[in-house]
Homo-oligomer: A and B are copies of this chain.
Amino acid sequence: MSKGFNIAIVGATGAVGVEMMETLEKRNFPVKNLRLLASARSVGKIMKFKGENIKVEELRADSFQGIEIGLFSAGASRSKEFAPFAVKAGTVVVDNSSAFRMDDDVPLVVPEVNPEDIKKHKGIIANPNCSTIIMLVPVFPLHKVKGLKRLIASTYQAASGAGAQAMEELKIQSRDILEGRIPQISVLPQQIGFNLFPHIDVFLENDFTKEEMKMLFESMKIMHHPSLKVNCTCVRVPVLRAHSESLLLEFEQDITPEEAKAILSKAPGVTLVDDIKNKKYPMPIDASGKYNILAGRIRQDISRDDKKGLTMFISGDQLLKGAALNAVQIAELL
Interface residues of A (CB under 8 A from B): 150-152, 154, 156, 170-171, 174-175, 178, 189-191, 194-199, 203, 206-208, 216, 229-231, 233, 235, 237-240, 244, 246, 248, 257, 276-277, 279, 281-285, 296-304, 309, 311, 313
Shortest distance between the CB of A109 and any CB in chain B (Å): 24
Shortest distance between the CB of A191 and any CB in chain B (Å): 6
On chain B, the residues within 8 Å of A239 by CB distance are: 194-196, 238
Q: How far is the CA of A321 from the CA of B285 in the complex (A)?
A: 31
The chain B residue sitting closest to A213, CB to CB, is B302
Check A196 against B284 for contact (C-beta < 8 Å): yes
The chain B residue sitting closest to A248, CB to CB, is B152
Shortest distance between the CB of A228 and any CB in chain B (Å): 9
Check A207 against B240 for contact (C-beta < 8 Å): no
Check B279 against A246 for contact (C-beta < 8 Å): no
Check A207 against B238 for contact (C-beta < 8 Å): no
Highest count of chain B CB atoms <10 Å: which of A150, A156, A277: A156
4 A-B pairs closest in CB distance: A154-B154, A154-B246, A229-B303, A231-B303
The chain B residue sitting closest to A283, CB to CB, is B197
* Copies assembled: 2
Check B207 against A233 for contact (C-beta < 8 Å): no
Question: Given contacts A152-B248, A248-B152, is CB(A207)–CB(B285) below 8 Å?
Answer: no
Q: How far is the CA of A230 from the CA of B303 in the complex (A)?
A: 5
Check A207 against B175 for contact (C-beta < 8 Å): no
Shortest distance between the CB of A273 and any CB in chain B (Å): 11
Q: Known contacts A194-B239, A235-B313; can you find 10 more A-B pairs with CB under 8 A?
A: A154-B154, A191-B285, A198-B282, A203-B277, A206-B302, A207-B257, A207-B276, A207-B298, A207-B299, A216-B302
The chain B residue sitting closest to A171, CB to CB, is B178
The chain B residue sitting closest to A250, CB to CB, is B303
Q: How far is the CA of A216 from the CA of B175 in the complex (A)?
A: 38
The chain B residue sitting closest to A216, CB to CB, is B302
Q: How far is the CA of A195 from the CA of B237 in the complex (A)?
A: 9
Q: How far is the CA of A127 from the CA of B25 in the complex (A)?
A: 57
Q: How far is the CA of A277 from the CA of B198 in the complex (A)?
A: 13
The chain B residue sitting closest to A190, CB to CB, is B283
Q: How far is the CA of A203 from the CA of B230 in the complex (A)?
A: 29
On chain B, the residues within 8 Å of A237 by CB distance are: 156, 196, 237-238
Check A297 against B178 for contact (C-beta < 8 Å): no
11 contacts between A and B (CB under 8 A): A170-B194, A191-B283, A191-B285, A194-B284, A196-B239, A196-B283, A197-B281, A199-B279, A199-B281, A206-B300, A231-B304
Q: How far is the CA of A297 from the CA of B285 in the complex (A)?
A: 29
On chain B, the residues within 8 Å of A199 by CB distance are: 276, 279, 281
On chain B, the residues within 8 Å of A216 by CB distance are: 302
On chain B, the residues within 8 Å of A197 by CB distance are: 281, 283
On chain B, the residues within 8 Å of A309 by CB distance are: 231
The chain B residue sitting closest to A277, CB to CB, is B203
Partner of A233, one of B230, B284, B297: B297
